[in-house]
Every structure is written in structure tokens, then in C-alpha cells.
Amino acid sequence: MSGAEGAEYTYARRASGLVRGLSLWDTFAIGLMTIQPIYGIWYVIQVGVGLFPHANLLIALALSAVSVGFSSPLVWGILGASMPRSGGEYIYNSRILHPAIALGASFANEAAVIYWNFFISSWVASPSLAILAQYMGWTGLANFVANKYGVFTLAMACFVAAFLAVAFGVKYFKLIQWPMLVIGIAGPIILAVVLSICSKAAFIQHWNTAAAKYHSLTYHAFVSAAGTAAGAPMPRTWNWTDTIGVMSVMFTLFIYAYACVYLSGEVKRPDKTVFQASWLAIVIPVAIVAWTFAAIYHLVDFNFLSAAAHNDLFGDVKGYAFPYSTSYMTLAYLASGRSWVIAVVASLTFLFTSYWVVVIDILLPSRAIFAWGMDRMGPKWFTDINPRWASPVKNQLLFTCIGIVGTACYLLWFTSELTGLVATGMQLVSVFLVTGIAAIVFPYRKKVRGIWESSPYRRWKVAGVPLITIAGTVYVAFIGLALYYAFFAPQTRDINARKAILFVCAWAAGLLWYYIWKSRSAKVGIDVSMTYGELPPE
């Protein structure tokens, strides 16, 4: 059998059936809206400062920007432009490293994405609508979104609406995505403006006025009570230990822009677009985040921010009686003098961001298993593309159904059992660490020399070393730092490491999947090693 005949026999068709209809700005929007900006700010302050109260957010952001912020778009942009096919890290790792490793990593990532959707779909209720109800004093809505059946109803509606956003192809997906992008960027900017124009004295007055209304702690009493709850006074200044520690949470502002590459096979001019979109998806939110952090430090004392983050994360400050959390959205709401406009902006921005993350978390894994199918690593229907919509509708329906069933189990029956899974750790290892290693060795692997030689970035070198190798090395070093704080640091060891067995199970399932499908192909006379010596068809 000749090479050409083998390729035709190995792949079910000459073309994938997907359509290159995404522009630079469409691709950028996918990367940006995967988690940021409002999620990134909220998460970094709540979890980052909550666990590392001595952290200086601006210094941590700057260090993260010059490390993972520099390396991440280079790693993903160059890989995506060099292998412009939909499927994400599975494509790169299967060609550069080994298909078994790629399936193990991809399988674990699918499990992590599914798991995140259990949480994110529930965020449509709380904090999204919950904070609006609490800010506005709408008791009926507050009770509805606090009830597990209310949360379940809203989460199911979110999944149905998310499926409808992706089922009809990129043409309609783009139309829906642009309003989401506008909201996702404009909302945090409005909150940053409010945080910037309010003085510290005015904020303290607003806080104390609300405290009198709700019979809660005054500004200074709250800081003291938070210190009592934490077992140590809230810090008045920063240190390097916690600042480095909070970088392990700060990575969410940079790494999840990797979502751009999952649709590389549907991007116009992927040799340039994927690379440029990867940078835009990091630079723009970082600018908004830096502005927000600077505004918060202008607004409140260092120890107050640490106290607010501690209470938002643990909720254990005795005497705090406000009907809402001490999140960054609440700080903006209080800074506005409890304006209903800011209440609506904070709530709807979080709500639509939650919805759109669920959309993307259906979109991305559907492309991953599509790529598996193109390599005969799954049933043939994995590669089915609806001829009318140019979309893998069956794959998207599969992940929608898994999300609905899994979320129902989580919300109605197994909330405590499923809390604390190691989704972040699974992605750090399975997606980011493995792909970083692939980026380091990409220019030196004989098996992909033809792909590397055709890359538009093969001549980008520093002192003779390929830029992607340098970026991959920095990237892997940062991931190592994040993994330490995810699994071994005293602040997080008890939170995550106990359920690391789930990480092992996910990888084992992926490896087993590979060898089963390799064996099935061998029985009909197909050597899948031929598949992994080339890229899937366009």
C-alpha cells in the first residue's frame, strides 16, 4: 500500500467537513471568554488572597505576566499555527509525544471540563442572580436561587441554551458570541471605574451605613473579626511568600486562553490568526485586571482586602450580617453607594459569563473527540458533521447530556461528595504540563520534522534556540509552581490532594481507551501509527 493510499484508507474522508469561518476577533473572543475577565478577578481575590492574605496582587500579576503571560500565547499560538486542526492539545501531543499520552491527557481534560460545568452552570443561580436578589432585597428571587431545585432549574436552562448556541455552526455561534463579549469586557470595566472614582473615606462611610442598616460590623471591626476567625491579625503589608503563592491562582488569567486552539481547523488564516488571538486573549484582560487591582488598593486598606477575601472564601467572620458576600463585586456595589445600576451590571456580567463558559465547555470537548474520531480513536460518529450546519452536533449533544445528568447528580444528590475534585490539578498536569513538554521538544522530534519545517515560526530563535522551546521551558516551570501550590503547599494540601485518585483514574481510562481502539483498528488491518505520522485532513 502506498503512502497516499494508506492515508486515504486511514482517514474516513479527505476533508473534515468543518468550515474555516472564524476571524481573528472571533477566535480572540473564544479565548477571552473562557474564564475572564470577571471570573479571573473574582477567583484571584476570593481564593488567592483568601489563602494567601499577605499577597501583593499587582506584583504577582506583573511576575505572572512576564512568565506565563509571555510563554502561554507563544506555546499555544505556535503549536496551533503549526498544526491548524481542531482538537486542541490532543493533536499536538499525539504527534509530538505519543498518542497514548495524548489520549490520557485529553481524557483527563474532558473529565475536568465536564466537572467544571457542574459548578459553572450552578453559578447562574449563585452568585449571579443571588447577588442581584441580595443587593436589591428581592426575597422571592433570593429564596428561589438558594433552593437546590431552583439552582437545578436554572442550570438545566443554561445547558439547553448553551447547546442551541453551538448546534447551528460557527455562523450563528459568532452572532451570539459578540454580545457576550461586549458584556464580558464592559461589565468589569464599569466595575473598575466605580472602584476608581470612590475615595477610601467615602467607601468606609458607605460600608458603615450598610453595617448600621443590617446590624453588622463596621469597617474596622470587620477587619478585627476576620483576624479572629483566621487565627491571626489581618496583615497590613505584603510578603514574598504569599505573593509567589497567589501566582498559582493568578494563572487562571493567562492559561485558559488556550481555548483558542481547539477550533484551529475552523479559523481563517490559522498561520497568523491563532497566534495573534492567543496574545489578544491575554493582553486585554490583563489590562482590565491590573486596573481593577490598582483601584481596589486605592479604595480599601490592605488588611481590609485580606479580611474581605477571607470572609468571601470561608464565610466564618462572626458578626458579619450583610445579606451578601464580601466579593469584589460587592466592593464595587458598596463603592457606588449601593446603586441598582451596579447591582445589575455585576449580576448580569457574571450570569452571561457563566452561561458563555458553559457554551465553550460544550464546544471544546466536542472538537477534541472529533479529533479522536479522525484518528480512529473512537466510534465513527465522532467525526459526523451536520452537512447543513457544518457542526459536530452529535458530539455537542453528547456533552450537553453528560453535563445535564452530571449536574443534576451534583446538585440534587451528591453535592458534598463531588466537592473538592482536582479539576484544576488535572488540567495543570494533563493539558498544560504535557503540552508544555511537547512544545519544548517539538523542534527536535524526528517524527514531526516535516510539520516543524513547514511551521511559519520555525525561524523564530534566540541564540539559536527555537523560541517555542524557550517559551515551553518557562511555561513548564510556571506550571510546576502552580502544581506545588495545588497539591503540596500547606494552604491547599487538605483541599485538593485527598482526591488525587480521581486524576489517576481519568488517565487510566484514557490510556485504556487508546489501546482498545488501537486493537480494534488492527483487527481490520489498519495500523494507526500511520495516522499519527500526519495531520488529519482539513
213: domain CATH number is 1.20.1740.10
Its pTM stands at 0.88
Alpha-carbon gap, residue 238 to 395, rounded angstroms: 48
Q: Which helix (H) or strand (E) holds 466?
A: strand 465-466
**Full residue range of the structural domain in which residue 465 is found:** 3-531
Q: Give domain status of residue 31, yes or no.
A: yes
Q: Give domain status of residue 191, yes or no.
A: yes
AA identity, residue 110: E
Q: Give domain status of residue 536, yes or no.
A: no
pLDDT at 414: 66
Q: Give domain status of residue 468, yes or no.
A: yes
Alpha-carbon gap, residue 72 to 222, rounded angstroms: 39
**Sequence-separated (6 or more) residues with CB below 8 Å from residue 480:** 433
Residue 121 grid coordinates: 452552570
Please give the angle made by the CA atoms of 64, 70 and 72, to the nearest 5 degrees: 95
3 state SS of 135? helix
pLDDT at 410: 79
Q: Give domain status of residue 500, yes or no.
A: yes
Q: Which residues of the chain have pLDDT under 70?
A: 1-19, 414-423, 491-500, 538
Residue appearing with cell numbers 447528580:
409
3 state SS of 129? helix
Alpha-carbon gap, residue 488 to 245, rounded angstroms: 12
Please give the angle made by the CA atoms of 155, 161 and 166, to the nearest 5 degrees: 125
Q: Total domain count for the chain?
A: 1
Q: Give domain status of residue 459, yes or no.
A: yes
pLDDT at 7: 42
pLDDT at 488: 73
pLDDT at 535: 74
The answer to whether 206 and 309 are in contact (CB under 8 A) is no
AA identity, residue 120: I
- Cα dihedral 390, 394, 398, 401 sign: positive
AA identity, residue 251: F
pLDDT at 10: 52
Q: Give domain status of residue 537, yes or no.
A: no
Half-sphere exposure of 328 (CA within 13 A, CB side): 28
Q: Which of 302, 135, 127 is nearest to 206 (CA)?
A: 135
